[in-house]
Amino acid sequence: MVTAIPSIETYENIKKGKYKISNLENRFKKAPLPNYEILNLNNVKLKKNSWISNEIFNKVNFHLKKKDQVLFFLNRRGFSPSVFCKKCLKSFSCPNCSINLVYHKNKNNLLCHFCGFKAQLNRKCQKELSCDFIFSGPGVERIYEEVKSIFPSKKIEIFSSDTMNKKSFKKKLDKIVNNEVDILIGTQLISKGFHFPSLNCIVVVDVDLTSQGHDLRNAEKNLQLYHQLSGRAGRTGKPSMVYFQTYNTQTKIISDITNKNPKVFLEKEIEIRKINGLPPFQRFISLILTGENEIKLEKEAARFKTVLQSKINGKILGPVSAPLFKLKKKYRIRLLIRGSKTLKLQNSLSTIIQNYKFLSGIKLSVDVDPISFN
Ligand SMILES: [Zn+2]
Ligand SMILES: [Zn+2]
């Protein structure tokens, strides 16, 4: 197993001596790690339809003058993650999934990132004539427009799965490596192991750590993401910087995540898991029931829970609507089993499922030690 940052499970296995670890102590040619700066957006006034502070643009300008490549990172594809009408207030949402459609300006359509549903940006208004749209929040295409308006003469490229096919991907990579691109605007796709020799400045447009709620792995996923992202900067030994813009006033979390020694964060996280009886100290098994009939599904989930409760040695949480309640026309309800880490729990669950007859049209998926809690 090879990783920049191990999962909490793997880290615990290393600590217990179950796995043996070999560390790369230095970067290639001993290139120093980038330095960090956190910019609190609560203290600045951004212009309308602007997401990047003047202070950041000044810093970026300084890097561009040194011929450093600059990356603006925002993990949101398209132009705007949500579109609504200012007359009837109706937003565009997917008819198949419980999620907003994302507006893609380059393709001139609205897209569901889960099922691929497409819609056009014109609609009869429930109030009068046609809708008058407001685009709320930025995606990479919108950040591109803002950056282009500040640096009109610079070569700017968007790096996201929407803007590239296999062939143009290779071409774009070559351009970036040969420093024929001044500024990159990228999604998470860009954090994955690329070597861009001139990239020495990264701007994280919005560190969003607010969704900590429903996924216990959010903290470690953020650590992995921002650590990998930072690893794109300063790879040839030049001084490099990562700037984090944020509205989050708990900048302590960001400092922890950006600490050059990730063990500090991992140690804290493992303590939290231990105290709260979370994996890897307990077993989680997620059971998702799906079906097209919402009421039938709710009843079935309750009935299934009753059977589980009488036969399983563990705590059963739920049924609750899954965070993504509707996906590809099917409703999703979740049960979560919390129990000790023994095979007995899995075996008894397996027996129950084999002998249980679900109502027609209802499906069950089982995820032991789930990675995603959607
Ligand atoms: Zn959809
Ligand atoms: Zn309208």
- The reply to whether 103 falls in a domain is no
Domain span at residue 174? Answer: 31-78+138-209+216-275
- Measured in Å, residue 126 CA sits from the centre of ligand 2 at 6
pLDDT by position in tens, the chain (length 374): 998 889 999 999 999 999 999 998 888 888 888 999 999 999 899 998 899 999 999 999 999 999 999 999 999 999 999 999 999 999 999 999 999 999 999 999 999 999 999 999 988 998 888 999 999 999 999 999 999 999 999 999 999 988 888 888 889 999 999 999 999 999 988 888 789 999 999 999 988 765 555 677 888 888 888 888 988 999 999 999 999 998 887 767 777 777 778 888 899 889 989 998 888 999 999 999 999 999 999 999 999 999 999 999 889 999 999 989 999 999 999 999 999 888 889 999 999 999 999 999 999 999 998 877 77
- Measured in Å, residue 134 CA sits from the centre of ligand 2 at 10
What is the tally of structural domains in the chain?
2
- The reply to whether 290 falls in a domain is yes
Task: Name the closest ligand to CA 134.
Answer: 2
Beta sheet of 363-368, edge-to-edge order = 315-327, 330-339, 283-291, 363-368
Q: Which domain CATH number covers 290? A: 3.30.70.600
Burial class (CB in 10 A: 0-12, 13-18, 19+), 78: buried
The string of DSSP codes covering 305-362 is HHHHHHH-SSEEEEEEEEEEEEETTEEEEEEEEEE-S-HHHHHHHHHHHHH--PPTT-
204, 243 contact by CB (below 8 A): yes
Task: Name the closest ligand to CA 131.
Answer: 2
37, 243 contact by CB (below 8 A): yes
Considering the entire predicted model, what is its pTM?
0.89
Task: Name the closest ligand to CA 118.
Answer: 1
Token code pair at residue 291: 């079906």
Element (H, E) at 265: helix 262-276
- Measured in Å, residue 188 CA sits from the centre of ligand 1 at 21
CA distances 366 to 175, 324, 358, Å, are: 44, 16, 14
- Measured in Å, residue 100 CA sits from the centre of ligand 1 at 8
Residues 297-331 have pLDDT tens digits of 999 999 999 999 999 988 999 999 998 999 999 99
- Measured in Å, residue 116 CA sits from the centre of ligand 1 at 6
- The reply to whether 6 falls in a domain is no
Closest to 304 in 3D by CA, of 283, 334, 280:
334
- Measured in Å, residue 324 CA sits from the centre of ligand 1 at 11
